[in-house]
Amino acid sequence: MSMIGQVYVKNNQYKIKGDFHHLEPGLPIRLADEGWRLIGITNPRTLTHMHSYGGEAPFFEALSQGKLLATRCDNPQCVHHGSVYQPFRIHCPDCLVKNTVIDMTDIAKKTSRIHTFMVCERSGAFSLLDTPIKFINVEFDGVCTILMSYLAVGDPAIGMRVRPIFKKQDPTFTILDLAFVPDGTKEDRLPHGFQF
Ligand SMILES: [Zn+2]
């Protein structure tokens, strides 16, 4: 019996419990064209990677609470002082000073619109989204960057007004806790676990 790896941090140290590396027996790889002679083996491996969010942790915590955090450069000496960044940038790319974390949930609710989009019929390994995936690039009033997300309901169009939705029920603490729907979508049409 194995237990999935669990981690917390106390006194600046990782405290881990359970299995982080799981080894399974492999199988031979044989060459059918030459009498099925042995040419190798498969090496199945299961591992649990500890992915630290560092300074971006508040962004992911906030998604689970239905809030969209951004950052802003408040350095008065910076040429681009006052710029708001979404996605969340820890440091200003122009002056390299640490940005201020701001709550832009209301701005996103009132001003989100599709800059451009891309519909993918197939996805890569480990993708958890249902295909076709409607990837959208979202622009917001007063924000100098564009956010990559996906449209969870309906079909995208350039310039379409959209609203953010948050997976407050059973959050994954990943970017998948944030998605968008067309403005005017009724709450009962949202995917499982999501709320406005
Ligand atoms: Zn700056």
CATH code of the domain in which 183 resides:
2.40.50.140
Task: Indicate whether 190 and 93 sit together in one domain.
Answer: yes
**Does the structure show a pLDDT above 90 at 24?**
no
**Above 90 in pLDDT, residue 138?**
yes
Residue 69 has pLDDT above 90, yes or no: yes
How many Cβ atoms sit within 10 Å of the Cβ of residue 157? 12
For residue 150, pLDDT beyond 80: yes
Residue 168 located in a structural domain: yes
Distance from the alpha carbon of residue 140 to the mean position of ligand 1, in angstroms: 20
Tell whether the model's pLDDT for residue 1 goes beyond 60.
no
d(CA 72, ligand 1 centre) in Å: 8
How far, in Å, is the centroid of ligand 1 from the Cα of 70?
14
Using alpha carbons only, give the angle 84, 91, 61 rounded to the nearest 5 degrees. 75
For residue 112 the two structure tokens come to 């989100």
Rounded to an integer, the average pLDDT of 28-53 is 93
192: nearest Cα among 173, 174, 175, 168:
168
CA–CA distance from 132 to each of 124, 148, 155 (Å)?
12, 16, 10
- Tokens for 196? 């406005």
Residue 179 lies in a domain: yes
Listed residue (104, 112, 109, 53) closest to 83, CA to CA: 104
Same domain flag for 187 and 97? yes
Most confident of 5-19, 113-127, 150-164: 150-164
Q: Are residues 61 and 100 in the same domain?
A: yes
Are 148 and 141 in contact by the 8 Å Cβ rule? The answer is no
Alpha helices in the chain (DSSP H): 57-63, 105-111
Residues 110, 170 share a domain: yes
**Structural domain for 19, as ranges:** 6-47
Distance 143 CA to ligand 1 centre (A): 14
User: Ligand 1 centroid vs 167 CA: distance in angstroms?
Assistant: 32
Span from the CA of 80 to the centroid of ligand 1 (angstroms):
6
The Å distance, Cα 61 to ligand 1 centre, comes to: 25
Answer yes or no: is 97 within a domain. Answer: yes
Q: pTM for the full model?
A: 0.85
Q: Rounded to an integer, what distance in angstroms lies between the CA atom of residue 182 and that of residue 117? A: 13
78/164 Cα distance (integer angstroms): 31
